[in-house]
Amino acid sequence: MKRSAFVLPAVALLIVGGIPVAAQQLPPIRQLGSPVSTTAEKLGAVSAVRQLSDGRVLVNDIIGRRVLLFDPTLKNFTLVADTTSATANAYGTRAGGLIAYRGDSTLFVDPASLSMLVIDGNGKIARVMSAPRAADATFLVGGPFGSPGFDPQGRLIYRPPPRPVFGGGPAARGAQGGSRAEITMPVMPDSAPLVRVDLATRKLDTLAFFRTQRMQMNMTRNADGGISMTSTVNPLPVVDDWGVLPDGTVALVRGRDYHIDWVTPEKSMTTSPKIPFEWERLSDDAKVAYIDSVRKVMQEARASGNLGGMFGAATGGMQMMRMGGAGEGGERRAAPGAAATPGAAAPQSGTQTPAPGGGAANTQSTTTIVTDGGTSVTTGPGGGRGPMGGQLPELTFIAPTELPDYKPPFAGGATRVDADGNLWIRTTQNVKGLPVYNVVNRKGELIDRVQLPAGRVIAGFGAGATIYLAYRDGDTARLEKLSAK
């Protein structure tokens, strides 16, 4: 990659509202080379991989509900956990997550049983531990909530679910403007903590806070006494992101001005300079056009039943799983995660590989949407219909004037950390229809800009600048190994 040979020259900056907008000298955007090896085994959707010291690779297939251990060539594999409940190595009923543990051992998080399986370096399940806190199990699987990791002292670092404040939100009113209902909407926070827990003592402490998207929920009472809840969509939230480096340092990537705060295991914090970026200013007309374009995409997605495209395009932090229904054989389908709006950033890929969205033919299917705020919303059959066959509520967007004056540099869940401790940040910048990743080193310096091949998402990294990409080949997901140099 020749990263060390690149030095950013000093340039003059124009500051408007605290954000640099002048063109800056940036590394050229480059493409990755050809894959070294590719899996032949049929996979459902690759959520994450973990390379062991000898080059073997653990693969989490969240649709097939399997954990597989491939050899370094990705040709041969053994099953570590599967969906057969009669075996001792059952995967579980929900999508799980992989977390690198001590040495070559790995934790497999099963949120359904609130447990963590310890997989040793031979791919055997050595023992089982309980999740640190029952309510946090889902947030340990990775994806839009960030990738958990361990510090040198063996403490697990992760983001717990939000703690809404009840009783402070607007109350539902009667359909005819009657008195307030007794139920009020909870107020969702606009920040989240990063915590760490000692698995031996279960002692938990807070490392830092970072900015998240606040869910704006609205509630009304119908004439028949029922309550309807809707949310107001913000297609361009300004949020922070985070990642855990191999040495236990936590990188807090700030979305407001695009710099990084570094938090060491001792809780000392340092700040690196702003990362050079081609900021895109949004005029008043551009804001109106942006919301109109997102509204069109979401309306088309609702009409077709492809809610994955709808949420992937607009929210920058929502994940959808389509549960088994007609024509699906009861298996889980991962929804598309690619941005469907020009310039819109999908959630950090690598949480799942794109799969065909369900159309109107899936008349029996239901969909569960897990938002960045931790809210689960269940919708029903395609064609914009709700869980019991009713219509989905009308879309509500924030006013165009509430959008930021500059397009945020990234969306929630955009950051991955490679084996060398570099951050790969998926930016909102698209070039020829493909997103650009900024590669930032431990000093906060922009050392590379990379585009993945079309249809690829980052599944994980390995030693020696190895990168693993997942993609969909018809009805099958595949994993390929490349050099990131």
369 lies in a domain? no
**Unique residue bearing structure tokens 């922009």:** 446
126 lies in a domain? yes
20 lies in a domain? no
Strands 476-483 and 466-473: antiparallel
Distance of CA 81 to the CA centre of its chain: 24
Domain that holds residue 105: 32-141+462-485
Contact 141, 97 (CB under 8 A): yes
Please give the DSSP secondary-structure letter assigned to residue 391.
B
105 lies in a domain? yes
Tell me if residue 353 falls in helix, strand or coil: coil
Tell me if residue 74 falls in helix, strand or coil: coil
360 lies in a domain? no
194 lies in a domain? no
Render each residue's pLDDT in the chain as its tens digit; 485 residues.
444 433 344 343 445 445 554 445 899 999 999 999 999 999 999 999 999 999 999 999 999 999 999 999 999 999 999 987 666 778 988 899 999 999 999 999 999 999 999 999 999 999 999 999 999 999 999 888 899 999 999 999 999 998 876 655 555 555 455 454 555 666 778 899 999 999 999 999 999 999 998 877 777 777 777 777 777 889 999 999 999 999 999 999 999 999 999 999 999 999 999 999 999 999 999 999 999 999 898 888 878 765 544 444 433 333 333 323 333 333 333 333 333 333 333 333 333 333 322 222 222 233 333 333 333 333 333 344 443 345 566 678 999 999 999 999 999 999 999 999 999 999 999 999 899 999 999 999 999 999 999 999 999 999 999 999 999 999 999 999 999 98
Per DSSP, the residues of 239-274 read --EEEE-TTSPEEEEETTTTEEEEE-TT--EEEPPP
Strands 180-184 and 191-198: unpaired
128 lies in a domain? yes
Question: What's the total number of domains in the chain?
Answer: 1
- pLDDT tens profile 152-177: 999 999 999 988 766 555 555 554 55
Question: What residues have CB less than 8 Å from 404, skipping those under 6 apart?
Answer: 236, 238, 282
Rounded Cα–Cα distance for residues 118 and 123 (Å)? 9
- pLDDT tens profile 122-153: 999 999 999 999 999 999 998 888 999 999 99
113 lies in a domain? yes
**What percentage of the chain's residues is helix, strand, coil (to nearest 5)?**
10, 40, 50
